[in-house]
Amino acid sequence: MRRAAYWLIPLIAFCVALFIGLFLVQINPLAPKIQPSETENKAAPEGLKGQLGSWISHFANTSDNDYFYPVNEVTLNLDMGSKSDALELYRLVIKPKSADELLQCKEELKKNALPFVMQTEEDTKILTVDSPDQSQLKSLVTKLKTYQITATVSPYTEEK
């Protein structure tokens, strides 16, 4: 038994190494070497830029569909047009004085499908709503005045 184990362990190790070697050769086939033409080198004297152009053009002409190009940097040029379509936002600030007023404010905001942010500063809660529709916010202010809840609408300016 000892003699079998003496030869079996190195045999298994050799088979595993052979399998790994064949697997690596199979997934990394030898690629053809790209020979840059002399006309491309004269056209692009910047050196590396000419080599990259021939490298990409070579893979564009081949029928290898399994190759993925490495991406290190992406540059986007957007044409925003000559006019600025800045969306003006308005902020509604509600400071309820009690839990009942807070509940009523939340219900009104849910009815109008307005997302809000609630902040807690010591004992007071502040509800803020940002929306581009000023008329909807003003109608909400008048609705909250019927419940004797004070709210203010102002143009939104981002704090820096």
- Domain around 127: 90-155
Q: Are residues 148 and 102 in the same domain?
A: yes
- Give the phi and the psi of residue 93 in degrees, each rounded to 5: -115, 125
Tell whether 67 is covered by a domain: no
pTM above 0.85, yes or no: no
pLDDT score for 139: 92
**Higher pLDDT pick, 88 / 144:** 144
Last residue of a domain, one of 12, 45, 61: 61
Considering the domain architecture, whether residues 104 and 142 belong to the same structural domain is answered as: yes
Q: Which long-range contacts (CB under 8 A, 24 or more apart) does 148-152 make?
A: 149/94, 149/96, 149/101, 149/104, 149/105, 150/94, 150/95, 151/92, 151/93, 151/94, 151/95, 152/92, 152/93
> 77 in a domain, yes or no?
no
- Establish if 79 belongs to a structural domain: no
The answer to whether residue 134 is domain-embedded is yes
pLDDT digits (tens, 9 = 90+) for 97-142: 888 999 999 999 999 888 989 988 888 888 899 888 889 999 999 9
Domain containing residue 105: CATH number? 3.30.70.120
What is the four-CA torsion angle of 28, 30, 32, 33, rounded to 10 degrees? Answer: 90
Is the model more confident about 122 or about 146?
146
Same-domain check for residues 94 and 151 = yes
Structural domains counted in the chain: 2
Residues 100 and 51 placed together within one structural domain of the fold: no
Reported as a single tens digit per residue, the pLDDT across 29-65 is 665 556 655 554 444 445 545 555 666 666 666 665 6
pLDDT confidence of residue 78: 76
> Of 19, 42, 61, which residue constitutes the final position of a domain?
61
Instruction: Note the pLDDT of residue 74.
Output: 74
